[in-house]
Amino acid sequence: MAKEKKLVEAITSMEEDFAQWYTDVVKKAELVDYSSVKGCMVIKPAGYAIWENIQKELDRRFKETGVENVYMPMFIPESLLQREKDHVEGFAPEVAWVTHGGLNELQERMCVRPTSETLFCDFYARDIQSYRDLPKVYNQWCSVVRWEKETRPFLRSREFLWQEGHTAHATAEEAKERTIQMLNIYADFCEEVLAMPVVKGQKTEKEKFAGAEATYTIEALMHDGKALQSGTSHNFGDGFAKAFGIQFTDKDNKLKHVYQTSWGMTTRLIGAIIMVHGDNSGLVLPPRIAPTQVMIIPIMQKKEGVLEKAEELRGILSSNYRVKVDDSDKSPGWKFSEQEMRGIPIRIEIGPKDIEANQAVIVRRDTREKIQVSLDELNEKVGEVLEQIQHDMFERAKAHRDAHTVTAKNWDEFKEAIAEQRGFVKAMWCGCKECEEAIKEETTATTRCMPFEQENLGETCVHCGKPAKAMVYFGKAY
Amino acid sequence: MAKEKKLVEAITSMEEDFAQWYTDVVKKAELVDYSSVKGCMVIKPAGYAIWENIQKELDRRFKETGVENVYMPMFIPESLLQREKDHVEGFAPEVAWVTHGGLNELQERMCVRPTSETLFCDFYARDIQSYRDLPKVYNQWCSVVRWEKETRPFLRSREFLWQEGHTAHATAEEAKERTIQMLNIYADFCEEVLAMPVVKGQKTEKEKFAGAEATYTIEALMHDGKALQSGTSHNFGDGFAKAFGIQFTDKDNKLKHVYQTSWGMTTRLIGAIIMVHGDNSGLVLPPRIAPTQVMIIPIMQKKEGVLEKAEELRGILSSNYRVKVDDSDKSPGWKFSEQEMRGIPIRIEIGPKDIEANQAVIVRRDTREKIQVSLDELNEKVGEVLEQIQHDMFERAKAHRDAHTVTAKNWDEFKEAIAEQRGFVKAMWCGCKECEEAIKEETTATTRCMPFEQENLGETCVHCGKPAKAMVYFGKAY
């Protein structure tokens, strides 16, 4: 039996069923496919190209601050994982265990890294001897495994791609500074490149990383009003250094423990891009991250000169932009909807009449605005429109985020806001874990972060009425 | 107890003990460290930066031919690995098995990918329906695991980094063409970028990849006369397609199996660079792959103006080359030996007298030649010298390879050549597996390849005297 490729089908509308809309988009935009390995995804070319652009841009920003890339083994012997108490408790329940190598059972089983703090610490304990060896500012790009029960492409899968930075410093101050520096790089990257506004802040004790002294986070708001933790940066103090014996001889000839940090961003960001910018026609990619920024679609391409003109324009534009021509034998309407589904920021329509008039039509993916432009000005105009799209996408996402950030001064307001899933709820909090847990229990909302930009919304905790210690962003989260 | 960093120690000379020389160089040049995970290595910044340059250059060449990058899961369910008979026999004895996820035993155990043919085939079987979906020219950059008993950094380790390309085509001819095309890209890359001459050819039936119809290889000769397989490209015909049911509806509306290829290069290349170019002072990196091409070493750096001048030169040179200044408080002599150990192609010495005379000294790493140059011409001269080094390194490696490639016309000559480990031995062969195995048994030499450039060295097999079918490169191999 012949298998025929199905026509592009309509995707579920996001108002009707946001989760199904998301699943439809990742499939129809050909970002991801399911695999025969339960909970693991195949990242297809259109998805991986976004990741490559994320990597390129982040890696460049990292290296400007002195980061060096390395590669650690993917396996962690069980005894090494157990070295830091909080850390093993946090991760052991969700790792995959290798028990056999070749035909033999291993003497000690190993897990596939869920994160590599223990490996970096083990290495640093051997590699760091003197203050001259500090700081170490290492990073690796790799995949990690966490044995999740429920999975969703990009957002939560058993294997995902990420970068993990691991640094060691001579002083606590330097470690703190590096932690914040990397958080700022993450935030700037999200806002400048992904057009995605984020709230920067600190995680509560309950929500911080297993083994960290403090965890900082950037939180973004998705179109459905749910929060997505989009990057984290951890200050370990000297906790891991003590557990792993990472010591150095300082300038004063005294033996001291190092201070450490780690920080990571993952393929989850692709999920964020989809859920912040997407619409009912599919993906909408910010120009700075889009693998293809411009799709030229010839109209009546069999007419003499049309394909040639399309190719000529591609040649001109491609020295400045990432441009393709869709010269397949599909109809123009079909090509339009594919370009929209894939979120390509601009399409250029060019047909015999346009050529005669020495013009083309630029269509913006985000607003669908059509702009007639003289071919003489096309190159410049495309640049302007891409910049405008990038700018407008950020402003729209920010307006949406701000419109879905509400203040709750008392418990009734809080419950109502969460029940309606308006988005972020700002409220005062007493700082007690019990209150945090009770709030989660009653509303399913969690503390997203204590933002760096604190506001005084009142003197008492929104839940228990005791004196407030901090203003917190709450929200339902992915 | 304070741990003090040891002084750089002399490395073993390669004439005395080549294996120990290799181990010393990878450690002292800080390319790699051993890890707590037996058989797995930590790739340190100096080593990983070489890999990043290899990746960048290969990836660019791949993409120029239409290759798209993707990412497949790192796990392979046992039943999937078993789908193609030869393939599972080739790999099952040397894989790592995951048996538990989180706290539960898996229903079916999975191996960590030793290579991903089975995953790509599984995916293609779902993803390919029509001739319109072809060709698929996918590649992934990842790590793979093979449970080796004896390991050596870069050359043979339980986990290594690589790229694996996997393609699917409508016709056998197209698959054959792609196989050869990628082999040529590998060969050009090795010769143009790594300054490493290679012999291109086909593997014998015995040495071909598990499941392939034909395996093509590039073979390089190391300084000690051993061969290193440096890249392979496999033509699968429709064998995997039949085992996995990868079919498409062709233009003639008939259902057909696809034809496939795969091809890979690994971190082993770093081992090749070391063993082709290194000397008794350490690593010697070809300029085109060197992470740092120029190290500026200030002399009497505490004298006023010296460090400033060094920085000024760095500023000027760094728009064209990868340049660093070693302004640490070590002595110049120490810095020289570190720069040599790390294989940085050029060092520039600049001190007060040089500054006064408006000149500097360029020292070539490969020949140690000193070149006095006016600062006005430094930028241009550095470019010339780097090009000259790249050129000379290739020519020297080629001269060494040619001087260590001998022809054996009879069995006595063959045995003598192999015993003296002169390098490649060219000889005629009858094409029988029995003869090939006997040769290996008696001499430990294996067939490296049947080169594309065949020569007629006689009419009979060097071992059995029966009619010869092909001229073969034999050698002891890593």
**Predicted confidence (pLDDT) per residue in B368-381, tens digit:** 999 999 999 999 99
Angle between the N-to-C axes of helices B268-277 and B45-64, in degrees from 0 to 180, rounded to the nearest 10: 110
Give which of B63, B75, B99, B334 to mutate to test A binding, by max A Cβ within 10 Å. B75
Q: Inform me whether the pLDDT recorded for B2 exceeds 50.
A: no
Q: Inform me whether the pLDDT recorded for B3 exceeds 80.
A: no
Write down how long chain A is.
478
DSSP-assigned letter for residue B6? P
Query: Is the separation of the CB atoms in B157 and B148 below 8 Å?
Result: yes
What is the distance of C-alpha A6 from the center of its chain? Answer: 31
The answer to whether B89 contacts chain A (CB < 8 Å) is: no
**Of A5, A33, A122, which has the smallest distance from its Cβ to B132's Cβ?**
A5
Query: Is the separation of the CB atoms in A220 and A198 below 8 Å?
Result: yes
Instruction: Give the C-alpha separation, B248 to B265, whole Å.
Output: 29
Can you give the pLDDT at residue A303?
Answer: 96
**Of A36, A43, A101, which has the smallest distance from its Cβ to B70's Cβ?**
A43
Kindly determine whether residue B42 and residue A73, on different chains, have CB atoms separated by under 8 Å: yes
Low-confidence ranges of chain A (pLDDT < 50): 1-7
Can you give the pLDDT at residue A9?
Answer: 63
- Contacts of residue A216, defined as CB under 8 A and 6 or more positions apart, other chains included, come to A179, A180, A183, A200, A201, A202, A203, A232, A233, A234, A235, A449
Can you give the pLDDT at residue A6?
Answer: 40
Kindly determine whether residue B2 and residue A122, on different chains, have CB atoms separated by under 8 Å: no
Instruction: Give the C-alpha separation, A334 to A332, whole Å.
Output: 5
Query: Is the separation of the CB atoms in B91 and B114 below 8 Å?
Result: yes
The answer to whether B81 contacts chain A (CB < 8 Å) is: no
Instruction: Give the C-alpha separation, A275 to A477, whole Å.
Output: 13
Can you give the pLDDT at residue B7?
Answer: 40
**3-state class (DSSP) for residue A234:** strand
Kindly determine whether residue A69 and residue B112, on different chains, have CB atoms separated by under 8 Å: no
**Of B52, B71, B100, which has the smallest distance from its Cβ to A43's Cβ?**
B71
The angle at the Cα of B106, spanning B104 to B110, to the nearest 5 degrees, equals 135
The answer to whether A253 contacts chain B (CB < 8 Å) is: yes
Best CA proximity match to A274, nearest among A11, A50, A51, A25:
A25
- The DSSP bridge pattern shows strands A259-266 and A227-237 to be antiparallel
Kindly determine whether residue A101 and residue B147, on different chains, have CB atoms separated by under 8 Å: yes
Kindly determine whether residue B102 and residue A93, on different chains, have CB atoms separated by under 8 Å: yes
**Cα of B372 to nearest chain A Cα, Å:** 32
When pLDDT is averaged across residues B152-172 and rounded to a whole number, the result is 97
The answer to whether B452 contacts chain A (CB < 8 Å) is: no
The answer to whether B37 contacts chain A (CB < 8 Å) is: yes
pLDDT, tens only, B406-423: 999 999 999 999 988 789
Instruction: Give the C-alpha separation, B179 to B172, whole Å.
Output: 11
Beta strands per DSSP E along B38-101? 41-43, 68-69, 75-77, 96-101
**Cα of A123 to nearest chain B Cα, Å:** 7
Can you give the pLDDT at residue B6?
Answer: 40
Q: How many CB atoms lie within 10 A of CB B229?
A: 21
Can you give the pLDDT at residue B258?
Answer: 98
**3-state class (DSSP) for residue B398:** helix
Query: Is the separation of the CB atoms in B240 and B117 below 8 Å?
Result: yes
Instruction: Give the C-alpha separation, A453 to A210, whole Å.
Output: 25
Query: Is the separation of the CB atoms in B117 and B166 below 8 Å?
Result: yes
Q: Inform me whether the pLDDT recorded for B395 exceeds 50.
A: yes
What mean pLDDT value characterizes chain B? 95
Beta strands per DSSP E along A306-358? 323-325, 346-350
ipTM score: 0.95
Chain A residues with CB-CB distance to B35 below 8 A:
72-73, 119, 122-123
pLDDT, tens only, B166-211: 999 999 999 999 999 999 999 999 999 999 999 999 999 999 998 9
**Of B2, B44, B98, which has the smallest distance from its Cβ to A96's Cβ?**
B98
Kindly determine whether residue A74 and residue B112, on different chains, have CB atoms separated by under 8 Å: yes
pLDDT, tens only, B8-55: 567 999 999 999 999 999 999 999 999 999 999 999 999 999 999 999
Give which of B30, B32, B40, B71 to mutate to test A binding, by max A Cβ within 10 Å. B71
Kindly determine whether residue B97 and residue A100, on different chains, have CB atoms separated by under 8 Å: yes
Instruction: Give the C-alpha separation, B432 to B203, whole Å.
Output: 13
Give which of A1, A32, A35, A80 to mutate to test B binding, by max B Cβ within 10 Å. A35
**Cα of A466 to nearest chain B Cα, Å:** 40
Kindly determine whether residue A129 and residue B5, on different chains, have CB atoms separated by under 8 Å: yes
Q: Inform me whether the pLDDT recorded for B235 exceeds 60.
A: yes
The pLDDT-based confidence of B139 (bands split at 50, 70, 90) is: very high
pLDDT, tens only, B444-458: 999 999 999 999 999
Chain A residues with CB-CB distance to B90 below 8 A:
none
DSSP-assigned letter for residue B194? S
The answer to whether B126 contacts chain A (CB < 8 Å) is: yes
The residues facing B195 across adjacent strands are none
Interface of A with B in 359-378 (CB under 8 A): none
Kindly determine whether residue A95 and residue B72, on different chains, have CB atoms separated by under 8 Å: no
The tokens describing B454, both together, are 């065949």
Query: Is the separation of the CB atoms in B208 and B287 below 8 Å?
Result: no
* Order of all β-strands in the sheet with B294-298: B323-325, B294-298, B346-350, B359-364, B370-374
Instruction: Give the C-alpha separation, B361 to B5, whole Å.
Output: 30
DSSP-assigned letter for residue B9? P
